[in-house]
Amino acid sequence: MEGIQNISRRNFVKVFGLASGGLIIGCQFSSEKEIVRIDDGTTFAPNLFIQLKKDGKLILICSRSEMGQGIRTSLGSAIADEMDADWKYVEIQQATGDKKFGNQNTDGSRSVRTILAPMRKMGAIAKQMLIAAAAKKWEISASECKTEMHYVINKNNNKKLFFGDLVEDAMKIEVPKDVTLKNKKDFNYIGKKLKSIDIKDFTHGGATFGIDARLPNMKFATIARCPSTFGSVKSFDKTKAMAVAGVEDVFEVERVKRPFGMLGGVAVIANNTWSAIQGRNNLEIEWDKGKNGAYDSKRYAQRLTNRIHTRAKVVPPTKGSVNKAFSNASQIVEATYQLPHLVHAPMEVPNALAWVHDGKCEVWAPVQSPQSARTEAAAYLGINEENVTINVTFLGGGFGRKSKPDFVVEAVALSKRMNAPVQVVWTREDDIQHSYYHTTNVQYLKASLDKNGLVTGWLHRTAFPTINSTFMPSANYAAGWEIGQGMNNNPFEIENVRYENAKAEPHVRIGWLRSVCAIFHSFGINSFIDELAAKAEKDPLQFKLDLIGKDRIRKEKSPHPLNTKRLKNVMKIAAKKANWGRELPKGHGLGIAFYYSFYSYVATVVEVSVINNKVKLHNVWTALDCGMYLNKDNVINQLEGSAVFGMSIALHGKITAKDGAIEQSNFHDYILTRMHEVPPIDITIVDNDEAPTGVGEPGVPPVAPAIVNAIYNATGKRYRTLPLSEHGIV
Amino acid sequence: MKTLTINGKNHNIEAHDDMPLLWAIRDIVGLTGTKYGCGVSQCGACSILIDGELAKSCSLPLSYGIGKNITTIEGKTTNLEILRKAWSTINVPQCGYCQSGQLIAASALLDNNPNPTDEDIDIAMSGNICRCGTYSRIKKAIHTAVKLKNK
Ligand code: FES
Ligand code: FES
């Protein structure tokens, strides 16, 4: 999880011709001051990439992974728009993993936020050069030309020149130093509804996901991994596995002790996936369960719960004195919330196809971070990264799982050993039982109310195994950025505050999952302030608006400091859509929650009913302010998906461990929301010209607390642990 | 040697009778549009039509498919074609991975029920998981397909 990229340093632009007869423009994030032009395509391969062919075909390279967020369409449309290109000529190609493309990590809801501006500039540069080429041809000035749908037009006589026909001339044009970007009102694609460029492939089974990658004479592999994290093989008997038709080899693979190294185990190599699975089922393995062999998540949650009720490490910023506020309070409210581990469970399981030969390695895999896959592969093989090519396929969902390329290392190791292309496939059981889990969490909140029902003191204590432990096994306390996902930077105006973090040792691999720590901090905060509103006998919406306080832009070191006005605005929109305050049918309740994460503002209102002790969702209203957006329909689709993701968390999601092993194994016990549970979802996207911010993740955090708050509103019963299925109401 | 008839074409393959149809179709025949999601009849990613009936290919042996007409997402039926149009109009997919199965299941629904209600759709589609959460759009697209058809 890297910090924020400084996008204003886009200042390195090059143009070069291609043997295939096209115009290529690229730019890279670099500290070079000059705009440089070279005329051949030797080593330079830029971050953002345009290839215009003589037949007009416009190939745009997408440096971020496509995992359902529509990034290929969105980023392509930004360039095409500034270029005044005709969408029908556009083809998107996926970049391989390489540092020369700049940061390619597709997580943190940052793709559009960090590279929209450079993308647009790339398009504008291309347009300006095509205009210059046409103007030269017509012997007029550039200002006498305009562009429209893949043509440059002579304003004097309406003569047209096709972009493709300008390729050769444009290659002779200097790269402009300054370009003007379009005005919002002139956009053809940005901010509009644009169909996914991949829709045809998706509806005909034609899109190649990682698991669909094929090479001649490839082998298929599964690996049996120790049920407890970081356990190892004591002994194994492969006789019965080898007897399965199609199984070609069985051998042990060692754990690679790196954050994204493989877990190790016993590999089964076969000539088809099924035989590899069957072979593995027939293995007899004795495991050394290792230091996590006794992990019991129920007992662990109890331990954390005990710990959270005593003073812990103080995390800045502290304000005033909570103790004083508590002793002067007219009412004290305290509550403890506990949430379980979760797993990403993307529909496409982790998998990778690798081919190691002649000192080189080529990989085809659904990875969110092709560069770290490349680093891991190179490190495993002890070769230079230049000799590793990572081809990024479509991702059948990622949610954070596929930015940890342990599965790539496995394929590389097996290919090396077999001297053949090998595809490692995780079964769903593997995916659920050997992941990098969303952490388990316990929070304790305590607040004081004065006689007017105003909050005077706020103590928030949190404990959870940190993602840092995946990188530094001894890490027992949360990382600053984890706490910063909404806990010690909540948007409230309270005079006395203290934040604390209690120790939590990891017993499984901990990793980020869509929305990360915002999931549980949003749950704690949004549930707790709902409890406060009830105690203060105030309308929850008004109470929360008041708690956020006056309009202000928070003073903080951030590219997009919190603007409370925008936060309150989305709350008001969602509430209005839900017709907040209306008379509700018997057994029904409305609940609201909001969150500021990934620099975007989201509020969600949910209507539930609880009848015969069964909860049913009736409506979801979500309002999002993500600044300027690229593709409205895509944004809406993401927010609808976030609502469903949040429902899974609220209603069903739980990963538990006993004797070191994960107890769930497939979709019958790791339950995901299905269609019949999903009510109408209404999404409002705020229109403004603010800088673009996150879309893929900010929608999730408010959903679960909004549901729990709605249940409270309907029944007077407060649920402080998830999932709700554990309470027998689902 | 066995023969599987998929999308009107015969494929002669060498594989064990017990191999699930899913893996025979993907790994042996080489049609990868049909997806693996769970292997245990829980998610619907592997949905195919066998003699026009909806089936989960991960949980049926190859032997079951011999001598029958199999339709996969690479194939064509009247309803599948209409649904594709609707899927495009509504812009249903996110990651796209589950959509093969969703489309096949939706086509089976329309084959049996030309005018399904929301509830019919909920029931018919409850065997298909979409982790990206495109359910509302799937439902909308099925209604759109019905409208397109009745036009
Ligand atoms: S793979 Fe067949 S139902 Fe999931
Ligand atoms: S679109 Fe991704 S799982 Fe359905």
CA A667 vs CA A298, A340, A512, A646, B98: distances in Å: 21, 17, 21, 17, 14
* Candidate from A48-52, A163-167, A295-299, A315-319 with smallest mean pLDDT: A48-52
**pLDDT tens string A180-205:** 999 888 999 988 888 888 999 999 99
Q: B91 CB less than 6 Å from ligand 2? A: no
* Separation of alpha carbons A630 and A649, rounded Å: 28
pLDDT of residue A49: 66
Q: Are strands A151-154 and A160-162 parallel, antiparallel or unpaired?
A: antiparallel
Q: How many residues in total does chain B contain? A: 151
Atom of ligand 2 nearest to the CA of A396: 2
Q: Which residues on A lie below 8 Å from B21 (Cβ)?
A: none
Does domain A297-343+437-727 bear CATH number 3.50.50.60? no
Q: How many CA atoms lie within 13 A of B138 on its CB side?
A: 35
Match 């390329």 to its residue by tokens.
Answer: A405
Q: Mean pLDDT, to the nearest integer, of A631-655? A: 96
For residue A596, pLDDT beyond 50:
yes
Residues of chain B neighbouring A641 (CB-CB closer than 8 A): 94, 132-134
* Closest Cβ opposite residue B74 in set A205, A428, A681: A205
Cβ B44 under 6 angstroms from ligand 1: yes
- Please name the member of B39, B84, B99 whose beta carbon is closest to the beta carbon of A428: B39
Instruction: Judge: domain A48-204, CATH 3.40.50.620.
Output: no
The interface predicted TM-score (ipTM) is 0.98
Average pLDDT over residues A45-70: 75
Q: Average the pLDDT over each of A17-31, A150-164, A592-606, B57-71 and give the range with the smallest value.
A: A17-31
Which residue among B16, B39, B126 sits closest to A675, beta carbon to beta carbon? B126
> Is it the case that residue A1 has pLDDT exceeding 80?
no
Secondary structure (3-state) at B96:
coil
User: What is the average pLDDT across A670-680?
Assistant: 98
Q: What is the mean pLDDT of residues A668-695?
A: 95
From first to last of its 151 residues, chain B has per-residue pLDDT tens of 899 999 999 999 999 999 999 999 999 999 999 999 999 999 999 999 999 999 999 999 999 999 999 999 999 999 999 999 999 999 999 999 999 999 999 999 999 999 999 999 999 999 999 999 999 999 999 999 999 999 8
Percentage above 70 pLDDT, chain A: 92
First-to-last alpha carbon distance for chain B, in angstroms, is: 46
Atom number in ligand 2 closest to CA B94: 1
A679: nearest CA in chain B? B136
Furthest-apart CA pair in chain B: how many Å? Answer: 47
Tens-digit pLDDT profile for residues A90-147:
999 888 887 766 778 776 666 677 778 878 888 898 899 899 999 999 999 999 999 9
A37 pLDDT band (50/70/90 cuts)? very low
pLDDT of residue A25: 57
Q: Is B52 in the pocket of ligand 2 (CB under 6 A)?
A: no
DSSP structure class, residue A39? S
Among A247, A347, A425, A435, the residue to mutate for chain B (most B Cβ within 10 A)? A347
B73-78: list long-range contacts, CB under 8 Å, 24+ apart: B73/A203, B73/A204, B73/A205, B73/B33, B73/B34, B73/B100, B73/B101, B73/B103, B73/B104, B74/A204, B74/A205, B74/A206, B74/B7, B74/B31, B74/B33, B75/B6, B75/B7, B75/B8, B76/B7, B77/B49, B77/B107, B77/B111
Using a cut of 0.80, tell me whether the model's pTM lies above it: yes
pLDDT score of A36? 33
Q: What is the mean pLDDT of chain A?
A: 91
Q: Is the CB of B42 under 6 A from ligand 1?
A: yes
Nearest ligand to residue B55 Cα: 1
* Cβ contact A184:A233 at 8 Å: no
For residue B47 and ligand 2, the question of a CB distance below 6 A is answered with: no
Residue in A358, A359, A373 with CA at minimum distance from that of residue A424: A373
- Kindly tell me if the per-residue pLDDT of A22 is higher than 80: no
- How far does the centroid of ligand 2 lie from the alpha carbon of residue A279, in Å? 30
| Whole-number pLDDT of residue A75 | 84
Q: Which residue does chain A place closest to B92, by CA atoms?
A: A637
Split at pLDDT 50, 70, 90, the class of A26 is low
3-state secondary structure of A397: coil
Burial of A40 (0-12, 13-18, 19+ CB in 10 A): exposed
Q: How many beta-carbon pairs below 8 A join chains A and B?
A: 183
Best probe of the A interface among B136, B137, B144, by most A CBs < 10 A, is B136
Nearest CB neighbour to B33, from listed A206, A395, A680: A206
Where in chain A are the domains?
48-204, 210-291+350-425, 297-343+437-727
Q: What per-residue confidence (pLDDT) applies to A16? A: 37
CB B104 within 8 A of CB B47: yes
* A486 C-alpha to ligand 1 centroid (Å): 38
How do beta strands A284-288 and A232-237 pair? antiparallel
Beta bridge partners of A285: A236
**What pLDDT does residue A60 have?**
86
In 3D, which of A608, A616, A540, A527 has the Cα closest to residue A580?
A540
- Closest residue CA from atom 3 of ligand 2: B130
- Predicted confidence (pLDDT) per residue in A271-327, tens digit: 999 999 999 999 999 999 999 999 999 999 999 999 999 999 999 999 999 999 999
Residue B13 near residue B1, CB atoms below 8 Å: yes
For residue A687, give the H/E element and its range.
none
Residue from the list A637, A666, A681 with its beta carbon closest to the beta carbon of B38: A666
> CA-to-CA distance for B34 and B20, rounded, in angstroms?
12
Ligand 2 pocket check for B144: Cβ under 6 Å:
no
CA of B96 to the centre of ligand 2 (A): 5
Q: Is B130 in the pocket of ligand 2 (CB under 6 A)?
A: yes
Ligand 1: distance of its center to the CA of B46 in Å? 5
Cβ(A685)–Cβ(A630) below 8 Å: no
Ligand 1, pocket-test mutation among B56, B64, B99, most atoms within 8 A of CB:
B56
Query: What is the Cα–Cα distance from A373 to A468, expressed in whole angstroms?
Result: 19
What's A551-575 look like in SS3? Answer: CCECCCCCCCCCEHHHHHHHHHHHH
B71 in contact with ligand 2, CB cutoff 6 A: no
Q: What is the pLDDT of residue A30?
A: 34
Q: Work out the pLDDT band at A29, boundaries 50, 70, 90.
A: very low
B2-6 β-sheet, strand order: B9-13, B2-6, B69-71, B47-50, B53-56
At residue A449, the pLDDT reads 98
* Range in A94-98, A640-644, A715-719, B81-85 the model is least confident about: A94-98
- For residues B43 and A668, give the distance between their C-alpha atoms in angstroms, rounded to a whole number: 9
Q: How many helices (H) and strands (E) does chain A have?
A: 18, 28
Q: Ligand 1 pocket: which of B42, B99, B131 to mutate (most atoms <8 Å of CB)?
A: B42
A214-237 pLDDT, tens per residue? 999 999 999 999 999 999 999 999
Q: How close is the Cα of A395 to the center of ligand 2, in Å?
A: 10
Residue A614 near residue A729, CB atoms below 8 Å: yes
pLDDT at A167: 84
Helix A71-83 to helix A111-138 angle, to the nearest 10 degrees? 30
| Strand order across the A160-162 sheet | A145-148, A151-154, A160-162
pLDDT at A657 over 50: yes
User: How far apart, in whole angstroms, are the C-alpha atoms of residue A64 and residue A369?
Assistant: 8
Residue A25 β-bridge partners: A15, A50
Measured CA to CA, the distance from residue A564 to residue A553 in angstroms comes to: 6
- Ligand 2 proximity of B93 Cβ (cutoff 6 Å): yes
The DSSP symbol for A367 reads -
CB B137 within 8 A of CB B88: no
Q: Both tokens of residue A395? A: 């991702």
Chain centroid to CA A360 = 31
pLDDT at A23: 57
How far away, in angstroms, is A396 Cα from ligand 2 center?
A: 7
User: A48-204 and A210-291+350-425: same fold?
Assistant: yes
Q: Which of A43-47, A410-414, A477-481, B142-146 shows the lowest per-residue confidence on average (mean pLDDT)? A: A43-47
For residue A723, pLDDT beyond 50: yes
Residue A3 confidence (pLDDT) above 50: no
pLDDT of residue A12: 31
Closest-lying ligand 2 atom to the alpha carbon of residue B132: 2
The per-residue pLDDT for A10 is: 28
- DSSP lists the bridge partners of residue B5 as B10, B69
pLDDT of residue A175: 80
Query: How many Cα atoms are found within 13 Å in the side-chain-facing hemisphere of A187?
Result: 18
Cβ B131 under 6 angstroms from ligand 2: yes
Residues 6+ apart with CB under 8 A from A412: A352, A354, A356, A361, A363, A376, A377, A380, A381
pLDDT at A600 over 80: yes
**SS3 (DSSP) at B98:** coil
Residue nearest to atom 4 of ligand 2 (CA): B130
Q: pLDDT value at position B143?
A: 98
What is d(CA A494, CA A487) in angstroms, rounded to the nearest whole number?
A: 14
Q: Nearest ligand, CA of residue A397?
A: 2
Q: Which residues of A touch B20 (CB under 8 A)?
A: 274
CA–CA gap between residue A299 and residue A188 (Å, rounded): 57
For residue A202, give the nearest of B31, B37, B93 by CB distance: B93
B36: Cβ below 6 Å to ligand 1? yes
Ligand 2 pocket, mutate which of A66, A71, A347, A349 (most atoms under 8 A from CB) = A347
pLDDT computed for residue A221 by the predictor: 98
Please report, for residues A7, A29, A556, A670, B96, the alpha-carbon distance to residue A3 in angstroms, rounded to integers and kept in the order given.
12, 15, 15, 33, 30
CB < 8 Å to B91, chain A? 193, 195-196, 199, 633-634, 637
A210-291+350-425: CATH topology is Aldehyde Oxidoreductase; domain 4 (3.30.365)
The full set of domains in chain B, from first to last, is 2-71 (3.10.20.30), 78-149 (1.10.150.120)
Nearest atom of ligand 2 to the alpha carbon of B96: 1
Interchain contact, B134 vs A641, CB within 8 Å:
yes
